[in-house]
A and B are shown apart, each in its own frame.
Chain A
Amino acid sequence: MMVFPPASFLSGRLLLEEEIPFPLPDSPAIQKLPGLSKRNSRLYCERCGNNEKERFALFPCARCQTECLYCRHCLMMGRISGCSRLVYWTGAEPPYEGEGILHWKGSLSEGQERASQAVTQAIRENGEQLIWAVCGAGKTEVLFRGIEAALLANKRVCIATPRTDVVLELAPRLQHVFPGTKVAALYGGSPDRHLYSQLVVSTTHQLLRFFQAFDVMIVDEVDAFPYSCDPSLQFAVQKARKPDAALIYLTATPNERWQKDCLHGKKAFVKIPARFHRQPLPVPQFSWIGNWKRAVKKGRLPASITSWAARRLQVNKQSLLFFPHIEWMQQALPLFQQLDSSIAAVHAGDPERKAKVAFMRDQKIPLLLSTTILERGVTFPNIDVAVIGTEDEVFTESALVQIAGRAGRSADFPDGEVRFFHYGKTRAAVKAIAHIRQMNKEGLEKGWLDR
């Protein structure tokens, strides 16, 4: 194993003693704190911020010979118990390697340009900025100049996203335009986990291993599950940034509170209501399908779904169908395969998930059934999209806007049909459609759409 100088290994981190692969030298710059403490008379995990009594448990610890407490919330990252200690570095930050200059020849749309300026300014002034951009607006490009400004000012930058898929896609793109800086990609089990880098792309989860490390914190998809539901991930973002760090939030669908804050001028935000290809977002249409679960149980698909799918197979247009739960998708799969045997289904735990997505890209799968895992981040150029069972509670406004955003992504094929098959219209679905319409309206008013 390589030997890492302690400064670059420890700087900006908060690690369990057991996670450090070399003997710790005696240095006043290396400090330790107990893994668990009490805050406001509540038990508190110093790594993940868990303070719920039910999320701790006791065990007879062989190490400290007492009934020792441990945190169950962040257990999968290595157990923090009452007798474990977290190590951090109080010395100077080691210098960064590389030159941080942006190598990118592309151009920005008008909307992107404004957002890019706002991002750069927020980074210069250590401010806060929300970028509210439709799916396909080109959010990543909006960050480029701001990141360059930060790197050149010797600031450390982190882009955090809830999903490993997005880390894997984003890191090489950034590496490509910043060839002079080594981009670290962090996710569970990533080979870069010990790399000291000025530009870090990380899952929100992995940020729990950092402490006041970043001068610029960019949070992608703040609305996405699990970030929106798990308070410890929000805690992770706050913990990993320096107290005066710039904060950039990216989202297509801010939650209701944020939307209100924006409306009332309480939050600095820039909206990009139009896609970079200057075509409007496809507006979803409702189709009532009745009690589709009963139909599937009886071994048939509602007629309108069959005809929708058959038409697409006939004209060779690829499509993506979203199901609320794995079980229903698995039951419906053979029924779809009666239409075409090459129809496939994919879900989060699917070992062939990557291969199936690649097959879909290579157009070897005409129609792919999916749970909400493909709701964001994944782009196929020319597809139609449908949701089966839109009434299910997993399809929130944000999820449905994201799903609809899968259609019409490429400039060559800006049209795509989006259909919400439902057994009862929900508030979320109605709001999602209104949201998309509103964005198109604003795009048109700004003159950022060609039609």
Chain B
Amino acid sequence: MSSCLLCGESVNGRLGWRPFFLLEAPPSICGACRRQFEPIIGERCRACSRPLAALDPAFIREDRCLDCCRWEEDSFYKGVLAGNYSLYTYNEAMKDFIARFKYRGDYILAQVFAGEIKKAAKQLPHDVAVAIPLSQERLMERGFNQAEALAQAAGLDIEDVLQRVHGEKQSKKSRSERLEAANVFGVKEKSSICHKKVLIIDDIYTTGSTLRQAAYLLKQAGAAEVRALTLARGQGT
């Protein structure tokens, strides 16, 4: 019997042969906590995974959201990111989860969604996985990189090809400010991504500008295609 990583209550795993032979890991969180998270189901934006059901029809163009249409009209970023796949909405439970995992630094929480991330990564065609890096300063502050932690818990092999050139906090800026900001990444290592399909892992997709900056550089460095897999789909401003 183990304890829920979030609420500490005991977790009763499923009975059966698979758990018995340790083929199936015991659940890391309890059912009550699990139910607080909202998986993205139903119709979603083909490009960024935004759930379309809750979106005003004025912001939907066929199977894409208006934001994504705008990205594709942008001469600079057009076609840079083949798509983003998010697993969950950024609801209150996910906000609390990410706050505790990333800002408070509860590393072990990376296990909570490891199974889902692993499964999703398998279905997204890729040769190489890359985690969005932190600046050196932020890395020292937090002690670990949350994107890397998510990827590693999911058993993905991460190629260390990106670095963050200068690290300003993104969360306080508006969309236009973020777009105008110069690219914060640099590519350290080209050989491992050249002509490869790259999957970027990050914790949250908000406006998509961070991911596109990284994707742009990866493409420049020779990547054949760049997709993103993110735990949560936030609401852009």
A residues touching B (Cβ–Cβ < 8 Å)? 54, 57-63, 68, 70, 72, 75-76, 78-79, 81
B107 (CB) vs chain A CBs: closest residue: A59
Q: Do A75 and B143 touch (CB < 8 A)?
A: no
A76 (CB) vs chain B CBs: closest residue: B104
| Bound: A230/B208 CA distance, A | 42
A-B contact pairs, 5 of them (CB 8 A): A57-B106, A57-B108, A62-B140, A76-B104, A79-B143
**Contact check: which of B100, B104, B143 meets A62 at CB < 8 Å?**
B143
With contacts A54-B3, A75-B100, A76-B100 taken as known, whether A62 is within 8 angstroms of B106 at the C-beta atoms is: no
User: Is B37 at the interface (CB under 8 A from chain A)?
Assistant: no
Q: Do A81 and B104 touch (CB < 8 A)?
A: no
Shortest Cβ distance from residue B160 to the other chain A in the assembled complex, whole angstroms: 13
Shortest Cβ distance from residue B143 to the other chain A in the assembled complex, whole angstroms: 5
Q: Do A70 and B107 touch (CB < 8 A)?
A: yes
Q: What is the total number of residues of chain B having a CB less than 8 Å from a CB of chain A? A: 14
Q: Do B104 and A59 touch (CB < 8 A)?
A: no
| Bound: A44/B51 CA distance, A | 45
| Bound: A281/B108 CA distance, A | 50
Q: Do A81 and B106 touch (CB < 8 A)?
A: no
| Bound: A76/B145 CA distance, A | 18
Q: Do A75 and B3 touch (CB < 8 A)?
A: no
With contacts A57-B107, A70-B105, A72-B106 taken as known, whether A81 is within 8 angstroms of B3 at the C-beta atoms is: no
B152 (CB) vs chain A CBs: closest residue: A60
Q: Do B107 and A58 touch (CB < 8 A)?
A: yes
Q: Do B100 and A81 touch (CB < 8 A)?
A: no
A72 (CB) vs chain B CBs: closest residue: B106
User: Is B97 at the interface (CB under 8 A from chain A)?
Assistant: no
Interface centre among B140, B143, B145 (most CB of A within 10 A): B143
Q: Do B144 and A62 touch (CB < 8 A)?
A: yes
| Bound: A237/B62 CA distance, A | 61
In the complex, the 7 A-B pairs of residues with the closest C-beta atoms, listed nearest first:
A59-B107, A57-B108, A79-B105, A62-B139, A61-B143, A75-B104, A59-B144
B3 (CB) vs chain A CBs: closest residue: A54
Shortest Cβ distance from residue B109 to the other chain A in the assembled complex, whole angstroms: 9
Shortest Cβ distance from residue A77 to the other chain B in the assembled complex, whole angstroms: 9
B residues touching A (Cβ–Cβ < 8 Å)? 3, 100, 104-108, 139-140, 142-145, 149
Contacts of A61 in B (CB 8 A): 143-144
Number of A-B contacts (CB under 8 A): 41
| Bound: A57/B5 CA distance, A | 11
| Bound: A76/B144 CA distance, A | 17
Shortest Cβ distance from residue B171 to the other chain A in the assembled complex, whole angstroms: 19
Contacts of A58 in B (CB 8 A): 107-108
Shortest Cβ distance from residue A73 to the other chain B in the assembled complex, whole angstroms: 9
Shortest Cβ distance from residue A433 to the other chain B in the assembled complex, whole angstroms: 31
Q: Do B143 and A68 touch (CB < 8 A)?
A: yes
Interface centre among B3, B107, B108 (most CB of A within 10 A): B107
Contacts of B107 in A (CB 8 A): 57-60, 70
Given contacts A61-B143, A70-B105, A79-B106, 12 further A-B contacts (CB under 8 A): A58-B108, A59-B105, A59-B108, A60-B144, A62-B139, A62-B145, A63-B143, A72-B108, A75-B100, A75-B104, A78-B104, A79-B104
Shortest Cβ distance from residue A232 to the other chain B in the assembled complex, whole angstroms: 12
| Bound: A58/B104 CA distance, A | 14
Shortest Cβ distance from residue B237 to the other chain A in the assembled complex, whole angstroms: 21
Interface centre among A58, A59, A75, A81 (most CB of B within 10 A): A59
Contacts of B3 in A (CB 8 A): 54
Q: Do A75 and B106 touch (CB < 8 A)?
A: yes
Contacts of A75 in B (CB 8 A): 100, 104-106
| Bound: A81/B100 CA distance, A | 15
| Bound: A58/B145 CA distance, A | 14
Contacts of B144 in A (CB 8 A): 59-62
Shortest Cβ distance from residue B190 to the other chain A in the assembled complex, whole angstroms: 25
Contacts of B108 in A (CB 8 A): 57-59, 72
Shortest Cβ distance from residue A304 to the other chain B in the assembled complex, whole angstroms: 31
Shortest Cβ distance from residue A62 to the other chain B in the assembled complex, whole angstroms: 5
| Bound: A367/B144 CA distance, A | 50
| Bound: A72/B105 CA distance, A | 9
| Bound: A392/B214 CA distance, A | 54
Shortest Cβ distance from residue A78 to the other chain B in the assembled complex, whole angstroms: 8
B2 (CB) vs chain A CBs: closest residue: A54
A84 (CB) vs chain B CBs: closest residue: B143
A79 (CB) vs chain B CBs: closest residue: B105
A59 (CB) vs chain B CBs: closest residue: B107
| Bound: A59/B143 CA distance, A | 8
Shortest Cβ distance from residue A418 to the other chain B in the assembled complex, whole angstroms: 31
